[in-house]
Amino acid sequence: MRDERRATLTDVATRAGVSKSLVSLVMRDEPGASPETRRRVLDAAAALGYHPDSRARLLRSGRSRLLGVVFGIQHPFHADLVTGLYSAARETGYELALSAVTPERDESEAIRGLLQDRCEALILLGPESRTAALTRLAERLPVVVLARSVRGPDLDVIRTADATGLALAVDHLVALGHRRIAHIDGGRAPGAADRRRGYRQAMHRHGFDAEIRIVPGGLTEEDGARAAEALLGDLPTAVTVFNDRCATGVLDVFNRNGIQVPGTVSVVGYDDSSLARLAHINLTTIAQDVPAMTRQALARAIARLEDTPITARESIVPPHLVIRGTSAPPS
Amino acid sequence: MRDERRATLTDVATRAGVSKSLVSLVMRDEPGASPETRRRVLDAAAALGYHPDSRARLLRSGRSRLLGVVFGIQHPFHADLVTGLYSAARETGYELALSAVTPERDESEAIRGLLQDRCEALILLGPESRTAALTRLAERLPVVVLARSVRGPDLDVIRTADATGLALAVDHLVALGHRRIAHIDGGRAPGAADRRRGYRQAMHRHGFDAEIRIVPGGLTEEDGARAAEALLGDLPTAVTVFNDRCATGVLDVFNRNGIQVPGTVSVVGYDDSSLARLAHINLTTIAQDVPAMTRQALARAIARLEDTPITARESIVPPHLVIRGTSAPPS
DNA sequence: TTGAAAGCGCTAACAT
DNA sequence: ATGTTAGCGCTTTCAA
């Protein structure tokens, strides 16, 4: 069974008693074949279990219609973005080729794989590569950077207004009556600098310069746990955290130490990842607009490929606050 | 820059002043070209920035050397498996093609994509498809099922001895002095039935039939949290949980309710996912041998493709216990 | 509406 | 050691 050669276009043509060209047209849903022929071809194809060979197709047409996506497999928010990208790719005529960054497979390797697959454009999720490397890459093919802020001549960037996001968090907490608000940051992670700045500016705007307190954090639960421990000696009444994953580490340490959330300390995360939505976490957080971001990323990549004129290289998507159970007035 | 046509084999041949065949040989590192020619070709290729076109190559050679991998993008343990698969694929001469299952993209769609890419074999991580569908698929190409137990004529299965895993967990707890040990199960998830059975058998073996208590759980933090709440009214002294993710939900609810872990209740997870290893979670768990499983999965797929004789269709990898901080003698 | 022929970039079989 | 030829499965002229 497995050894039967796959059916080819020629097989279908023979069986349907027409030329290859006609079969080609029909398979691509192009006009130019009579309804009668169309039906015959379709029948023959079905009977033979024919599936077009994308490689040959692409080889001939000189295009792959493949968009490469580089993502961090350990990163929950990237999972959300990939989910969005798949949805956005529907009906565009382009396919996604995934390439994961793992602890043992770095970004350049992930990118190399996609280039070899002849992807026409690349979408990079929170890439760690240096700006110079990204710029060089963008000389070869369109590159869309998602969820990281970079400036490069040929780079398209779709990102959240991260500073605004943190301002929303601080404003929310201030509105609740907080003023001793700390920030657990993301270190050198993409977006961390902007979020730090947003926090600082918002605190300043409210006249709480004296309360500004930035604790070194990171992107993982572990980083959050460590940061929370550092906070234990001198608790603020509220904490904004770099991301949801880090925030769960914070919550965990607070729980273990009998610190009520939001009773004693309020916690606000960032990303609105699936983590935050879990009933027992129920984290107040800043939501990045994943559908908008992924739709735009795809649209941008395709526009570059099809030479559609584009004005802005950078697109900044506004975030919004999602109030859940970890924020309340100070006691 | 971007518009320059990519260099082809012919370009390199012209530039090096040799035939295409020679270039082809050199690029594939095959013997049959003089060192002098080899150098000239390599120089020319470098000068032109030539990269072989894998599609054309594969079209011609009739093979894609592509192994399709279907995984759940929201599933932390799958992330570990994919990481292992990438490492295992190094130096095999085969490449991995990833296809994700997302909330909006089901398994059959993920598989369809890979088939269209002309993958030669498929590796499915904890597939949800029905046995009949998997069997039908296996008629078309070699299929290796990872981390799920299925029986089908042409299916290769690599999985952990899940019943043994739960026996290890129960034995460990019994050795510590526990006898009121509950199990939060995984419902209909892959592996759940075996783990339930392992729990039941181990309890029976220790003569604790009267203490057998199975609580409906699931794969997510949420499921774990719900199950833990169900337990609150009548706490056992120890709980074995379907997987680590679910166990973190359990831990969280216990923390919130002031229940000491492991003081009041011991908790043992399953998977040894990156989650369990986090310092602040520090979960005692059953480790699946990811390197062994992924190495075997790859080897099996390749063996099928190369008609290497294989005796067993099913390979059962032994798990082992990883003792961390969530298990201790009952108080 | 249909078909014949050329060729995408490459490898394989066969010459030399 | 090197070159020539044919053709993988498809799309794309172009002609009928």
Confidence of residue A116 (pLDDT cuts 50, 70, 90): confident
Sign of CA dihedral A72, A73, A77, A83: positive
A167 and A281 in one domain? yes
Same domain, A156 and A293: yes
- H/E stretch holding A266 reads strand A266-271
Q: Which residues of B touch A99 (CB under 8 A)?
A: 98
Range of the domain at A13: 9-52
Q: Are residues A170 and A282 in the same domain?
A: yes
| CATH code of the domain in which A196 resides | 3.40.50.2300
Nearest-nucleotide field for B61 (CA, C1') = C11
Nearest DNA or RNA nucleotide to A22 (CA to C1'): C2
Assess contact for A263 and A328: CB atoms under 8 A. Answer: yes
Q: Do B240 and B143 lie in a common domain?
A: no
pLDDT digits (tens, 9 = 90+) for B273-318: 888 887 778 999 999 999 999 999 999 999 998 878 877 789 999 9
pLDDT at A61: 85
- Candidates B19, B8, B18; CA nearest to B45 is B8
Q: Which long-range contacts (CB under 8 A, 24 or more apart) does B191-194 make?
A: B191/B126, B191/B147, B191/B148, B191/B149, B191/B159, B191/B160, B191/B162, B191/B242, B192/B242, B193/B149, B194/B149, B194/B162, B194/B163, B194/B166
Which residues lie closer than 8 Å to B136 by C-beta, 6 or more apart? none
Q: Is A259 on the interface with B (CB under 8 A)?
A: no
In a domain, B1, yes or no: no
pLDDT digits (tens, 9 = 90+) for A216-242: 999 988 899 999 999 999 999 999 999
- In degrees, to the nearest 5, what angle opens at C-alpha B90 toward C-alphas B87 and B91? 150
B57 belongs to a structural domain: no
**B window 92-131, beta carbon within 8 A of A:** 95, 97-100, 102-105, 113, 115-118
Is B230's Cβ below 8 Å from some Cβ in A? no
Segment A43-75, tens digit of pLDDT:
999 998 888 888 888 888 888 889 999 999 998
Residue among B105, B118, B139 whose CB faces A53 most closely: B118
Q: Are residues A89 and A130 in the same domain?
A: yes
Whether the CB-CB separation of B184 and B196 falls below 8 Å is answered with no
Please give the structure tokens belonging to residue A182: 């700390």
Contact B53/A74, CB-based, under 8 Å? no
Please identify which residue in the block is written with the tokens 């770099």.
A242
The pLDDT tens digits of the residues spanning A279-320 come to: 778 999 999 999 999 999 999 999 998 878 877 789 999 999
Query: Do B194 and B309 reside in the same domain of the chain?
Result: no
Determine how β-strand B320-322 pairs with β-strand B284-287: antiparallel
| Tens-place pLDDT, residues B73-95 | 988 899 999 999 999 999 888 99
**pLDDT level of residue A4 (50, 70, 90 thresholds):** low
What local confidence, expressed as pLDDT, does residue A279 receive?
74
Residue A94 and residue A176 in one domain: no
How many Cα neighbours within 13 Å face the side chain of A84? 24
Tell me, yes or no, whether A59 lies in a domain.
Answer: no
User: Is A2 part of any domain?
Assistant: no
The Cα A186–Cα A224 span in angstroms is: 9
A230 interface with B at CB cutoff 8 Å: no
Query: Average pLDDT, whole number, for chain A?
Result: 93
CB contact under 8 A, B105 and A95: no
pLDDT over 70 (residue A1): no
Check whether residue A182 and residue A276 sit in a common domain.
Answer: yes
A148 and A186 housed in the same domain: no
List bases in chain C with any atom under 7 Å of a protein Cβ.
Answer: 1-13
- Please give the helix or strand (H or E) that residue A96 lies within, else none: strand A95-101
- Give the residue ranges of chain B where pLDDT is below 50: 1, 3
Identify the pLDDT of residue B1. Answer: 45
Contacts of B2 in chain A (CB under 8 A): 139-142
Q: How far is the CA of B24 from the C1' of C13 (A)?
A: 14
Statement: the CB of B20 is under 7 Å from strand D: yes
A98 and A131 fall within a common domain: yes
Predicted local distance difference test score (pLDDT) of residue B4: 60
Count up the domains in chain B and report the number. 3
CA of A14 to C1' of D6 (A): 22
Q: Are residues A279 and A135 in the same domain?
A: no
Q: Are B184 and B244 in contact (CB under 8 A)?
A: no
Candidates B188, B240, B252; CA nearest to B212 is B240
Instruction: Looking at the structure, tell me whether residues B134 and B277 fall in a common domain.
Output: no
DSSP label at residue A136:
H
